[in-house]
Copies of this chain bind each other. A is one copy, B any other.
Amino acid sequence: MPNHWNEERLGPPYPSYQGQKWLELHSFRGPLLLTSGAILEEVTVNYQVYGQLNSSRDNAILVCHALTAGSLVASVDDPEKEPGWWDPLVGPGRALDTNKYFIICSNVLGGCYGTTGPASTNPKTGCPYAMNFPVITIRDMVHVQKFLLDHLKIKSLKAVIGGSLGGMQALEWAVTYPHMVEKVIAIACSGRFSSIGISFNEAARRAIMNDPHWRRGRYYGGDFPRQGLALARLIATITYRSRESFEKRFGRLLQEEERANPFNFFEQFAVESYLNYQANKLVRRFDANSYLYLTKAMDLHDLGMGYASFAAALRRIRAVVYLLGISSDILFYPQEVRGLAVTMRREGVLSYYEELKSPHGHDAFLIEFPQVKTFLRDCLSH
């Protein structure tokens, strides 16, 4: 049995991804050898496709999703579905033109949207893995995507595209399977995760693990560590925005201005109310253990891992690499993204850097559609 997401087993108040219909579910028997040396005996991949694979099977584009997103990059095939996270960019005639390309987006290994993760059943025990799930890396996610492409009989990709955690996967594709990828388009990410990024992730993990309901990960079937996951998301949300966007949108506004008494200890500034809203929203749709494992995978992201050096890893790349930094990003400073492009060039990789000018911070790639659209179009037609 594929170990897919099962609401009933987990029971309320366990989160679910409401309304999500999975297009495809593919399971393969392992063993999948992980970067750590550990083995997963069985892996299920949950994925979504858009457009048609042509007869020579060479028009595929792999889109990689970010930390808490899923394979629903667009809802083009079914307008009754909930909106995809890149809806304005995927569809007939759009930047990722489904008349032309076969778009694939799979849920990442370690997540909670159908692809094997810590909430999946461990075939050895019949119980959820929880914290017995092995530590995974971005490279492991890429290996699973490769297995999916094998299953789909796709031998080459026009492009691998992603932002943030998705961008890390795109870059890892270029290093791990250099001969399969024509173009890599990576947005708001880096070649190895920064120490300040690790710091914010560690704060988020502690928030979850401090929650008494977390119970060392064995909360399935019981109370969900809501408060912990909410705080983890609250912390992350600050880093996805920017000083500028917060000042413009909230400044020092109080929530419900008329009735507000700022001297009530629990009275909230509008920005606090916004953060708490975002925090509590995630709790309804994401698994806390997945949050732990995926942030850990981000922390471990280092293209050079296992190679003689970071430069040696870059020298494997055959794809053309397009990097997009975001001017106000405080999680991946634009200088850092630009620096990667420079280092790549030095190692003989054909790489280009552009900067998205936006006050919206890291999340701008999910907000500034016209700019991202132009960038994607330019890269794909280049």
Contact = CB atoms under 8 A, between A and B. Distances in A.
Interface stretch (A3-11, A70-78, A247-255): A247-255
Interface residues of A, number: 54
A135 B263 contact: yes
Contacts of A38: 263
Tell me if A's interface is mostly helix, strand, loop or mixed. helix
Interface stretch (A82-90, A155-163, A166-174, A200-208): A200-208
A380 interface: no
Contact of A195 (B134, B250, B333): B250
Interface string A198-236: 111011001100111000000000000001101100110
This chain's copy number in the assembly:
2
A13 interface: no
A194 B243 contact: yes
A252 B192 contact: yes
Which of A243, A330, A333 gathers most chain B CB within 10 Å?
A: A243
Contact of A199 (B193, B264, B275): B275
A353 interface: no
A375 interface: no
A228 to B, nearest CB: 7
A312 interface: no
Contact of A300 (B206, B212, B262, B292): B262
Contact of A212 (B202, B203, B212): B212
Interface in A160-196: 192-196
A242 B228 CA distance: 26
A131 interface: yes
A19 interface: no
Contacts of A268: 202
Interface in A9-62: 35-38
A135 B265 contact: yes
Shortest beta-carbon contacts, A-B, top 4: A36-B263, A195-B246, A195-B271, A135-B263
Given A195-B251, A196-B246, A243-B333, 6 more contacts: A135-B264, A196-B238, A196-B242, A198-B269, A199-B238, A203-B203
